[in-house]
Amino acid sequence: MTTAIIIVAVVVVAAIAAFLLLRGRTAGGRGLRSRFGPEYDRVVARHGGDTKAAERELEDRVKRHGRLEERPLTEEARARYADRWASTQELFVESPERSLAEADTLLADLARERGFPEGDDRDDALSVHHGAHVHGYRRVRSARNGTAGTEEMREALMDARDLFASLLADGGSQRAHGNGHLVKGHRAS
């Protein structure tokens, strides 16, 4: 009788441990998916659908860049970037290619001023802190370097606008809204 109770107890403890382990993995995946947005799906696809490998990569990004503190912008810098973005969008009518080149440069300048690293690490760091919008930055560069049509370039610029608005807002007196407009009269659209 005592042996049967011990066996049942061991089985119950093992079942609970297995449940908690599986639940923890699922929650981690949901947490990463939520944090990284479309970037999660992009990394999973790049790993051929291997979610474990993709999640290891994303967790590594969080370890490397999660403590990065974005530097706040002065009101003057914020206004300067907002003006540059408006000019970039206006340029699209005359020259979509030049507009995308300027958007690329502007986003790199803004990211650098906010404290993001240079080079290849920039995309990874941006994905940790602006995961829902970093795909816009990637789309701008992709559309610039390929044979994108005007509509594809326009969509890339619109996606990049979301990253721009997210980088421009720093949780201070101005907050970006989903429609690309900023409080205090500065427009990001």
Q: What is the pLDDT of residues 96-143, one digit of tens each?
A: 999 999 999 999 999 999 999 998 899 999 999 999 899 988 999 888
Residue 165 falls inside a structural domain? yes
Q: Are residues 87 and 157 in the same domain?
A: yes
pLDDT at 30 exceeding the cut of 50: yes
Dig out the tokens for 23 from the structure: 């639940």
Residue 94 falls inside a structural domain? yes
Q: Are residues 81 and 168 in the same domain?
A: yes
Give the span between the Cα atoms of 36 and 130, in whole angstroms.
Answer: 8
pLDDT at 80 exceeding the cut of 50: yes
Q: Are residues 41 and 133 in the same domain?
A: no
Residue 144 falls inside a structural domain? yes
Q: Are residues 95 and 146 in the same domain?
A: yes
Give the span between the Cα atoms of 98 and 141, in whole angstroms.
Answer: 12
Q: Are residues 61 and 96 in the same domain?
A: no
Q: Are residues 118 and 60 in the same domain?
A: no
Please give the DSSP secondary-structure letter assigned to residue 147.
T
pLDDT of residue 8: 61
Phi, psi (5° rounding) for residue 125? -65, -40
> Nearest CA to 100 among 149, 173, 167?
149
Percent share of the chain, pLDDT over 90: 59
Q: Are residues 115 and 144 in the same domain?
A: yes
pTM, to two decimals:
0.72
Q: Are residues 145 and 121 in the same domain?
A: yes
Q: Are residues 171 and 90 in the same domain?
A: yes
* Domain end point (choices 65, 91, 113): 65
Residue 70 falls inside a structural domain? no
Q: Are residues 87 and 176 in the same domain?
A: yes
Owning domain of residue 60: 2-65
Domain total of the chain: 2
Residue 36 falls inside a structural domain? yes
